[in-house]
Amino acid sequence: MSSTDHVQYANQTAKSITPIPLSSKPSFGAPEDPENSWTRSGQGASKTACIRTFGCQMNVHDSDRMRRMILDAGYAEVNRYEDADIVVLNTCYVRENAVDRVRGHLGELSRLKREGRVKKFALTGCIGASGESRDLQRQFGIDLVLGTHNTYELAEFVGLPGMEETHTPELPGTEGEHSAFVTIMTGCNYKCSYCVVPSVRGRMSCRPMENIVDEVHGLVSTGTRYVTLLGQTVDAWRESGKRFCDLLERIAEEAPRVWFTTSHPSNMEDRTLRLIGEKKTLVKKLHLPVQSGSDRMLKIMHRGYKSERYRRKIEVFRKAVPDGTLSTDIIVGHPGETEHDHEETLRLVEDCRFDSAYIFKFSPRRGTEAAELPGTPPERVVQRRFVEVLRAVEQNAFENNQKKIGSTEEIYIRYGRNPEEGNAIGETWSGHAVHVQTNAPPGTYVTARIGSAGPHVLYADPAEANSGDRAPRERPR
Ligand code: 5AD
Ligand code: SF4
């Protein structure tokens, strides 16, 4: 992903997990970062495997599942292709440059295979599910192509016995030992003009509540302290009369720290927004993609709401969660976007005062409606609009963050102290990313005063670990 077509803003750090915009989605853990590919080595293993993840949090989660199979099959994890017997590329298809990027990796893998250094490699995820995968398979000699629904078939590829035995779709993902991602629904029933998700992930399918609750219960009893509920439109989750808010309430009673991503404004109920403010165990941050501030564009995009409705949701959120953080996704340069539409987006950014945003330049995706639409603005216009939206978000975010200076915060440590940079990365209950000098390990809390703030992150004064590894607020209520 180039640094200009997707920018992660305020309250996000390279390592922060957050709203995950699909491809680039607020993403957690910068999945495209090679350092983020797993490096644990299986004891005594003579076979090696490398898995690289591109794109959204769902992909990070799918990679976790595949990783388990690979480890079960006796492979050790390595970080570099040239050290691996087998390689899995778990990919994203949201924007064209994502495919270009994966092409580069496929070229390198194909060469390493010819040289006998890599034995075989697989392409999985959204590109695997797309029409383009056959061409890629032919061109690069890929050994196995899997979509998003049949990742369990990787079992055979890595030499595990029957598929059925290893089909474990409900295994939790991991972010270190202390955090887990729990998928509550897959697919999407919307048909946004620009989006490939419905064609690669299929229609929405919701996991039963009891099944989700059991998983969360199991995770918490084995030490998980932070649960993130995942899905393309989590707030569309439903099960015989129960809605997402009911599920969220149950989970907030099971787990000590809970967040969810990502949501759709048409499904977001006011009572869910109020619940975020009420439940002590819910992290007070909301990722609610708006895409555009122009009603005309929202209609062309088939988003199903007008900007006024979005604004009203945000008002409810700000009132119910006064100390909360709000992030969004915005697309600039969608076909048909005029200067007036762009100004409407700037006005919405100003009104909603986002704490962070993922801003995307429109990228035509094969098979989507928008790819066939006329009227894509020229690149220089798109670039200017992109920068204008970016500056507006950054300005608001900076001002919002400045208000936190001087407050004392309970900070959940997500990434332990980095010896080079000297600080750990944590998250406040309001969802702000914080750099803090502490030796407290991931999954524990520190209490510290916020000393300064930039547009993207807060900086806390040095802090000692709390006595005990749990913050007082962490106990479910
Ligand atoms: N072009 C640009 N941005 C896109 N997104 C999804 N599809 C495209 C596309 N074709 C963005 C949307 C979505 C986020 C995950 O990625 O903003 O919310
Ligand atoms: Fe794509 Fe729209 Fe579904 Fe989000 S809601 S996954 S943008 S189709």
Same structural domain, 319 and 385:
yes
Mean pLDDT (the chain, rounded): 82
Residue 153 has pLDDT above 60, yes or no: yes
- Does a structural domain hold residue 347? yes
| 3-state SS assignment for residue 111 | helix
Task: Indicate whether 262 pLDDT > 80.
Answer: yes
Ligand 1 centre distance from Cα of residue 360 (Å): 6
Start-to-end CA distance of the chain, whole Å, equals 41
Is 93 a pocket residue for ligand 1 (Cβ < 6 Å)?
Answer: no
* Ligand 1 atom index nearest CA of 368: 10
Residues 248 and 381 in one domain: yes
Q: Which residue has the higher pLDDT, 21 or 80?
A: 80
Please indicate whether residue 289 or residue 126 has the higher confidence score (pLDDT). 289
Give the ligand 1 atom nearest the CA of 25.
15
- DSSP string across 90-121: EE--SSHHHHHHHHHHHHHHHHHHHTTSS-EE
Are residues 394 and 469 both part of a single domain? no
What pLDDT score was predicted for residue 269? Answer: 98
- The token pair at 358 is 């993922």
User: How do 445-453 and 408-415 pair as beta strands?
Assistant: antiparallel
Q: Which of 7, 58, 194 to mutate to test the pocket of ligand 1 (most atoms within 8 A of CB)?
A: 194
Q: Give the domain CATH number at 139.
A: 3.40.50.12160
Q: Residue 421 — pLDDT band, cuts 50, 70, 90? A: low
For the stretch 337-349, pLDDT in tens is 999 999 999 999 9
3-state secondary structure of 81: helix
How much is the pLDDT for 288?
97
Q: Which ligand is nearest to the CA of 265?
A: 2
- 5 pLDDT band, cuts 50/70/90, is very low
Look up the CATH number of the domain holding residue 447. 2.40.50.140
Is residue 395 helix, strand or coil?
A: helix
Note whether residue 38 is domain-resident.
yes
> Which pLDDT score, from 0 to 100, does residue 26 have?
28
Say which residues have a Cβ less than 8 Å from residue 115's Cβ, sequence separation at least 6.
none
> Does any domain span residue 206?
yes
Q: Which ligand gives the minimal distance to the CA of 264? A: 2
Q: Is residue 23 part of a domain?
A: no
Q: Report whether pLDDT(355) > 50.
A: yes
Q: What is the pLDDT of residues 192-204, one digit of tens each?
A: 999 988 887 789 9
How do residues 301-339 score in pLDDT, each as one tens digit?
999 999 999 999 999 999 999 999 999 999 999 999 999
Name the residue range of residue 449's domain.
408-474
Whether 23 shows a pLDDT value over 80: the answer reads no
Give distance in angstroms: CA of 191 to centre of ligand 2.
Answer: 7
Residue 159 DSSP label: T
User: Based on the domain organization, do 347 and 458 belong to the same domain?
Assistant: no
In a domain, 10, yes or no: no
* pLDDT at residue 45 tops 70: no
Full-model pTM: 0.74
Residue 144 clears pLDDT 50, i.e. is over it: yes
The amino acid that residue 268 corresponds to is M
Q: What is the domain count for the chain?
A: 3
Percent of the chain with pLDDT over 70: 80
- The model's pLDDT over 368-407, given as tens digits with 9 standing for 90+, comes to 999 999 999 999 999 999 999 999 999 999 999 999 999 9
DSSP annotation string for 416-441: PPPTTT--EEEEETT--EEEE---PP
